Structure 1
Amino acid sequence: MKHGILKASPVAAITIGVLLLLSKPVHAADSGSIEFGTGNRTQVVRVGSQWRWDQRWWESNGTHIGGYWDATLMVWHGSRYQNVPDATQNLGGIGITPVFRLQRDSLKGPYAEAAIGAHLLSDIYDNNGRTFSTRFQFGDHLSVGYVFNNGVDLSLKAQHFSNGAIKRPNPGVNFLLLRASYPF
């Protein structure tokens, strides 16, 4: 049993999201990223662009809290659609997330980050006994990573998606992701 990747209105939403991401010149973004992950019998692939904030908070001992905007496009591939073995569900999605990062003033070396953002899925997620009631989801994450001297940024991210009890049921889903980004 296969479930369609996108419906008409989500295609329009994703197209608008892509156009908004591309409406700024490419050089306006500070970095690009790719993420791979899994959770609840669902694989995730996500690409994104990041725009660093100039603001620094709580500067102390060579560290500060900074952050960036993370705009993403994602694909989820569930392998147990409607809790049926070997039935698949493919979803697309867009997201925008303000990310707060505790980092060194040099912007190199280890860091920790936390975030919560807004995401729109192309359809209702229904995989492995977890059925969302809305396409809109909050995506919050905690991650640790390392920025190398050449600017390459590698991290491990734990992410939770939920609609924040806007509508029931609200089972949520958790993913563990590996992320790599490179500065422009």
Structure 2
Amino acid sequence: MKVRNHNNLLGVTLGACANKTSLTANFTMKVSMSFKKNLLKSIAAVAALMAANAGFAADDKLIDSVYGEYAKGVKVQMVRAGVTSNWDKAWFVSNGTQLSGYWDASIGGWDAKSYQNVSGQHQKLWDLGFTPVFRFENTNKLGFYAEAGIGVHMLSKLYNNDDDRLSTHFQFGDHIGVGYVFNNKWEVAAKIQHFSNGGYKKPNSGVNYMNVKVAYHF
């Protein structure tokens, strides 16, 4: 009788543990999926708002393009939306080419997949950025181009993913990239981007991304 009761108690305990584990896994999955859906909805809403504002302001030359980006790094990915405003300046004009530039304002969401070096544990954060960018392009602003920029970013949380840590919310973001602007005003580009605080405070492992970009010009 004692053995039977002990076995029954053990079975109930194991069953409860299994149910708890299942509930925890389901809750974690639902939270992760919910965050991703909300992040994508937020980015889409921001992009739509930016597009509406850009369309309204195009004649006044306040906003010249809107864009979306997807970026991937080591155990981290990012989705970003932004707007740009041309400087309407040109240097070294020669043989149909020039050096020009623009202001870039953006909002993005990071999804790190190894928070505190625990595989599968996610860290979600927001990134607000503002960057001056120099672009070597054709004088008609169409066709191939190359660009480089360094700007400032504010992260909503201190990044701690895999073996990489950023000890400040404020970060510098620099990038180099190449792209192509089509006659129908659409643009595609690829970039390499690096985030760090410039050694202002340790730890400062830095974060690297490979970005793909799609933009529309007004």
Fold-level match, TM-score > 0.5?
A: yes
Q: 1:106 offset after TM fit, Å?
A: 1.0
Q: Select the residue among 126, 132, 148 that pairs with 1:114.
A: 148
Code of the aligned partner of 2:179: G
Pick the aligned partner of 2:87 from 42, 46, 53.
53
Task: Return the offset for 1:183.
Answer: 1.3
How big is the shift at 1:170?
1.1
Could you say what secondary structure the match of 1:118 adopts? Answer: strand
Deviations 1:83-121, CA, capped at 9 Å, x for gaps: 101100001010000000000001000000000000000
- Residue 182 of structure 2 corresponds to which residue in structure 1? 148
Q: Is the CA contact (8 Å cut-off) linking 1:100 and 1:115 kept in structure 2?
A: yes
Aligned match for 2:121, one of 79, 84, 87: 87
Contact 1:138 1:162 in 2 (8 A): yes
Aligned length: 167
Structure 1: tracts of 5 or more residues without a match: 6-17
Residue number in structure 2 paired with 1:10: none
Deviation at 1:166, TM superposition (A): 0.9
Gaps spanning 5+ residues in structure 2: where? 1-27, 36-45
Shift of 1:171: 0.8
Which digits, 9 at most, give the CA deviation of each residue in 1:6-53, with x for residues without a partner?
xxxxxxxxxxxx8xx97xx53231110000010021010000000011
State how far apart, in whole Å, the 2-side matches of 1:46 and 1:103 are. 24
Q: Percent identity?
A: 46
Higher strand share: 1
- Counterpart of 2:213 in structure 1 is 179
Aligned residue number for residue 134 of structure 1 = 168
Paired residues of 1:40 and 1:127 also in contact (CA < 8 A): no
Q: CA deviation at 1:146?
A: 0.4
Paired position in structure 2 for 1:72? 106
Partner SS for 2:77:
strand
Structure 2 counterpart SS, 1:55: coil
Q: Which has the larger radius of gyration?
A: 2
Specify which structure has the bigger relative contact order, considering alpha-carbon pairs within 8 angstroms and separated by 6 or more residues: 1
Alignment RMSD: 1.8
Of the three residues 77, 92, 101, the one matched with 1:43 is: 77
The list of structure 1 runs, each at least 4 consecutive aligned residues, that deviate by more than 2 angstroms after superposition, is none
CA distance in 1: counterparts of 2:71 and 2:127, whole angstroms: 15
- Tell me what 2:200 maps to: 166
Task: Report deviation, 1:56.
Answer: 0.3
Q: Provide the C-alpha distance between the structure 1 equivalents of 2:162 and 2:184, rounded to a whole number of angstroms.
A: 41
